[in-house]
Structure 1
Amino acid sequence: MSTAFATESPVRPAEPAAPPAQAPLRIRDDAHALEVARALAVDFARDAALRDRERRLPWDELDRFTASGLWGITVPRAHGGAGVSNSTLAEVVAIISAADGSLGQIPQNHYYALEVLRVGGSEAQKSFFYRRVLAGERFGNALAEIGHKDFKRRTRLTEEGGGWQVDGRKFYCTGALYAHWIPTLVATQQGEREVTVLAFVPRRAEGVTITDDWDGFGQRVTGSGSVSFDRVAVDPAWVVPFLASFERPTPIGPFAQLLHAAIDLGIGRGALEATLPFVREQARPWIDAGVERASEDPLTVRQVGDIAVRLRAAEALVRRAGRFVDAAQRSADADSVAAASIAVAEARVLTTTASLDAGSRLFELAGTGATLDGLGLDRFWRNARTHTLHDPVRWKFHAIGNYYLNHKLPPRHGAL
């Protein structure tokens, strides 16, 4: 941490929110994490269509999600966490996303903030925030800004009267509505140089306003609204270097993208899982095909098989990408981080197409019945279409081609 933030603030920042009264379950290892995720997914799937249809924010579900201990599984073992592999983390996210795509996406930035902390935080910062996460506190995000064609960050951390404060406005702040902390990307001056840092702002700090204005037609209950900061006092101990983490090879970018791939994979799985009973039990028989049930129609069977193969291939690429991210975390250099970025980009290409295809085929096989009787099966395609727009897949093809054809390492940023 730069000494630029060492000044004691005369304006006391807000105290962190009190941890939940009951400490979350402590996940033991990878197998335990998967076991807990599978049980939780059964719970989350039960009312997923209702939450989507009525845009019912999942406060109770998030409390159970946090209590499960899954929000702390990336905390290193040295700090009391399970320190699971990235393949396991991706599978946990996919399992939850299959049940409810929104619930699968909400902790994505939580895990991302923990990775930024792992890479760039001081030992004191790691100890402080890891402890709070294991006690049940959640991170949201306030990263993106809108309305500026030059991509210059307007949200700033400035010194005034001997203290530090954040001013600015963010949008697409997934999870901020539900968070105890809002990790916020801000520009600040360090000597002659402007740098970007990640300031962990308490959700209930004075001057923080969260507007629930997310109105996407998919991922409807992610809480991806807007956040504004008006002279919000920030403790210097809660500011972590950010841009410096991309000036050298680090796995932050591929780590973030791996989680996005897992979300899409899960949504695609959920679509397939919803397709099977609908076709078996509720779809009208195709009389012209000479069969009594739709599930016996050879063209229907062929389409289900095609979806299953695409999703299995996507699963394999996600697991493989997780191993590359593991290797980059163990020993981060230009080659290992580039290899991880490309492996994750390959996975994201396939999870994007597989999830969209699974949702589209569900419509094709179920027809208009997919949206009737409260089933809400259309949500899988809407969720996939919304989330896969997070960053452009066409540039991933370009990075992959350049890597293999011209031996050019991909750029280091959060979209690769």
Structure 2
Amino acid sequence: MSTLTSPEKEQYWIDVAVELSAQFALTAAEIDRKAELPKDNLRLLFERGLDTAILPEEKGGAGISYATFGRIVFEIARGCSSTACIWLMNTSAAESLITLSNPDTSEFYLQQWKQGKRFANALSEPTSGNLFLTPVQEAKPLGDGDWSLDGAKRFVSGAELADFFLVNASIDGAPAFFGVERDETVEIHEIWDALGMRGTRSQLIGFNQTRLKAANRFGQVVSNRQNLIALGLPWLSLGIAQAAYDALKVQAAGKKLSDGKPLTHVQWIQYETAEAHVKLKAAKLLAQHLLELADAGSEQTIVVSMEAKILANQVAKEVADLGLRVGGGLAFTRSLPFERHLRDAQAGGLMAYSSEMCKLFVGKFELNVRDE
């Protein structure tokens, strides 16, 4: 890898993701049907070096751009959305713990990640909705400089595999973030029975007098730091949209009408395929613009990430719905992938920040509305 030029290096990692995605697509339906974690997929992503590729070269990563990172999320999601979601959350949690911890703790998490340990985000409280960055569960001081947390976090993707959690709590009324190692005080509640992205097994996590160590508390966040989840979520939805779009084209070309011609000759399908193509292309361009801003360190990434998420979430649902209609009655069954794409497409709009919250933020920004 060291002999590759920068563009070649970036393309190398994209090619790896494309290769693995095709393999993931073969088992995506079974993973969804069984609602099981895609352990083999995650292992392959680690073994091929994709887990730590976002890290700078001096930390043992590949130093890939945000543009390449987003494309990797897209390609993985195109093959298996649950795998992409867990991988995005694992990468984001690990990168955050490495970047925002003190030097000694950062080095510890870095070495753990390189060894294949798993990380997960445990930030959403059962009653907090989108307010995952403003926790209401108050941590109790232990008197020795540490704190104790009693509470729960929901939608923790890949929770059952995680060795470390990124956890938030309120301390003296202010948000605080910690790295927490899994121990006997962390309980996995196996309640996952989801509509879509069933392979994420995003369980509810209980914390029972879990120690929040002062040494594992985040320091001050760098103002222009980019959040991998915000950058990756639009591409997660776009990967689902692309998979649905590819499938509908195959179905339209393969299914015959009574006169022997394929469905591609039906005028309404031609019209709506054109509309889906244009919307998908537009959503990709906006999401690509987001990553370009992130690579440039622009402060505009916050609002553009929400714009990109709104469009990507909507396009995913629309393209998946079109696939279902092109597939006809059989598409309502597991014989075709459209019902799975339709279910998976719903998830993006619910992930924080939800589409509604993103629209509220963008609307206020455009109308110059400031909360008093």
Give TM-score scaled by structure 1 length: 0.79
- Show the counterpart of 1:275: 248
Instruction: Judge conservation of contact 1:156–1:168 (CA < 8 Å) in 2.
Output: no
2:168 is paired with a residue whose SS is strand
Deviations 1:141-169 (A, max 9, x none): 21111136997521526325676543321
Instruction: Judge conservation of contact 2:135–2:170 (CA < 8 Å) in 1.
Output: no
Instruction: Judge conservation of contact 1:218–1:385 (CA < 8 Å) in 2.
Output: yes
1:305 is paired with a residue whose SS is helix
Change (3 A) 1:232 1:342: closer
Change (3 A) 1:158 1:274: farther
2:107 is paired with a residue whose SS is helix
- Show the counterpart of 1:18: none
Matching residue within 273, 295, 306 for 2:275: 306
> For the residues of structure 1 that align with 2:140 and 2:146, how far apart are their CA atoms?
10
Deviations 1:206-227 (A, max 9, x none): 2111122122201111121111
1:146 is paired with a residue whose SS is coil
Deviations 1:170-229 (A, max 9, x none): 1111222221211111223xxxx44332222223x1211112212220111112111112
TM-fit CA distance, 1:271: 0.6
TM-fit CA distance, 1:252: 4.5
Number of matched pairs: 362
**Which structure has the higher relative contact order (CA within 8 Å, separation 6+)?**
1
Q: Which range moved further: 363-372 or 266-275?
A: 363-372
> For the residues of structure 2 that align with 1:152 and 1:322, how far apart are their CA atoms?
28
Q: Which range moved further: 40-49 or 207-216?
A: 207-216
> For the residues of structure 1 that align with 2:356 and 2:148, how far apart are their CA atoms?
39
- Asked if residue 69 in structure 1 is aligned to residue 43 in structure 2, the reply is no
TM-fit CA distance, 1:115: 4.6
Instruction: Name the amino acid aligned to 1:273.
Output: D
- Show the counterpart of 2:75: 95
TM-fit CA distance, 1:376: 3.6
Q: Which runs of 5+ in 2 are unaligned?
A: 1-7
> For the residues of structure 1 that align with 2:263 and 2:280, how far apart are their CA atoms?
22
- Show the counterpart of 2:18: 38
- Show the counterpart of 1:322: 291
Deviations 1:334-363 (A, max 9, x none): xx32x1112222211221121111100001
> For the residues of structure 1 that align with 2:256 and 2:71, how far apart are their CA atoms?
34
Q: Which range moved further: 350-359 or 62-71?
A: 62-71
Deviations 1:18-73 (A, max 9, x none): xxxxxxxxxx9422221111111011100111111222332222222222221112
TM-fit CA distance, 1:75: 1.4
- Asked if residue 378 in structure 1 is aligned to residue 339 in structure 2, the reply is yes
Give TM-score scaled by structure 2 length: 0.87
- Show the counterpart of 1:347: 308
Change (3 A) 1:185 1:395: closer
Instruction: Judge conservation of contact 1:341–1:410 (CA < 8 Å) in 2.
Output: no
Q: Which runs of 5+ in 1 are unaligned?
A: 1-27, 329-335, 412-416
> For the residues of structure 2 that align with 1:87 and 1:409, how far apart are their CA atoms?
32
- Show the counterpart of 1:225: 203
- Show the counterpart of 1:397: 359
1:256 is paired with a residue whose SS is helix
- Asked if residue 261 in structure 1 is aligned to residue 222 in structure 2, the reply is no
Instruction: Judge conservation of contact 2:100–2:106 (CA < 8 Å) in 1.
Output: no
- Asked if residue 156 in structure 1 is aligned to residue 134 in structure 2, the reply is no
- Show the counterpart of 2:263: 294
- Show the counterpart of 1:197: 176
Q: Which range moved further: 395-404 or 97-106?
A: 395-404
> For the residues of structure 2 that align with 1:44 and 1:167, how far apart are their CA atoms?
38
Matching residue within 328, 348, 360 for 1:367: 328
Instruction: Name the amino acid aligned to 2:328.
Output: G
Change (3 A) 1:409 1:60: farther
Change (3 A) 1:186 1:75: same
- Asked if residue 237 in structure 1 is aligned to residue 215 in structure 2, the reply is yes
- Show the counterpart of 1:54: 34
Change (3 A) 1:306 1:86: same
Question: Could you say what the CA RMSD is over the residues aligned between the two structures, in angstroms?
Answer: 2.8
Change (3 A) 1:295 1:74: same
2:149 is paired with a residue whose SS is strand
Matching residue within 98, 103, 110 for 1:130: 110
Change (3 A) 1:397 1:162: closer
2:218 is paired with a residue whose SS is strand
Q: Which range moved further: 219-228 or 59-68?
A: 59-68
Instruction: Judge conservation of contact 1:200–1:239 (CA < 8 Å) in 2.
Output: yes
Change (3 A) 1:294 1:276: same
1:214 is paired with a residue whose SS is coil
Deviations 1:227-269 (A, max 9, x none): 112223455433224xx53xx734445x432211111111101
Deviations 1:299-330 (A, max 9, x none): 222222221221111111111101111222xx
Identity of aligned residues (%): 24
> For the residues of structure 2 that align with 1:218 and 1:273, how far apart are their CA atoms?
19
